[in-house]
Amino acid sequence: MTDTRIHPAFDLGERAMLESWLDFHRATLALKCEGLDDEQLRTRSAPPSTLSLLGLVRHMAEVERAWFQGVLRGEQYEKRFWTEEQPDGDFDNVDTADVAETFDIWQSEVRAARAAAEGVPLEAVGRGLRHGREVTLRWILTHMIEEYARHNGHADLLRERIDGATGE
């Protein structure tokens, strides 16, 4: 694995700090997947869990879309990897998923998220609701850092199980 992540500076303003940490964690997930073949990316953690690196990428694409398009912008959006009938489809349905397409979708959602947040003040309230509550962009960015950090812990364990690679 070649670590090209940019570590956030210690003296950034609030917005730059939040965006830098979010980008760092996005890059961490990509790093944990680097150099693995399709089957390795589909490797499950341990029964009965269906967790895999590919599932994490699919999940984070959905999370990016939900928070930035759905909650921040208040837009209706199509779910790509799960349905009401299969709420864990992002994790469960990886056996025949197109890996390259999944990574393209995830990166597209990251770009769309950045565009959605561009120029929006941190204290701006999103146009959509989350569990019936309004949230600010500041809250969304903080939550996204938490979401990636938690799942990057999973990615660490998955990667170590696959090929022994470890790292921060």
Domain boundaries, the chain: 14-163
User: CA angle, corner 154, sides to 149 and 47, nearest 5?
Assistant: 155
Mean pLDDT, the chain, as a whole number? 95
**CATH class assigned to 14-163:** mainly alpha
Model confidence at 47: pLDDT above 80: yes
Mean pLDDT of 131-144: 95
- For residue 130, which phi and psi values (nearest 5 degrees)? -125, 115
Q: How far apart are CA 91 and CA 141, in angstroms?
A: 23
Q: Could you tell me which residues come within 8 angstroms of residue 48 by beta carbon, excluding any fewer than 6 positions away?
A: none
Residue type (1 letter), 78: E
Q: Where are the beta strands (DSSP E) in 7-159?
A: none
Write down the pTM of the prediction: 0.95
Please give the Cα distance from 133 to 135 (Å, whole number): 6
Cβ neighbours of residue 26 closer than 8 Å, sequence gap 6 or more: 60, 110, 148
Provide the pLDDT confidence category of residue 4 given band limits of 50, 70 and 90.
confident
How many CB atoms sit inside 10 A of residue 51's CB? Answer: 21
Percent of the chain with pLDDT over 70: 100
Question: What backbone torsions phi and psi does residue 62 show, to the nearest 5 degrees?
Answer: -65, -40
Q: Is the peptide bond before 48 cis (omega within 30 degrees of 0)?
A: yes
- Report pLDDT digits (tens) over 13-36: 999 999 999 999 999 999 999 999
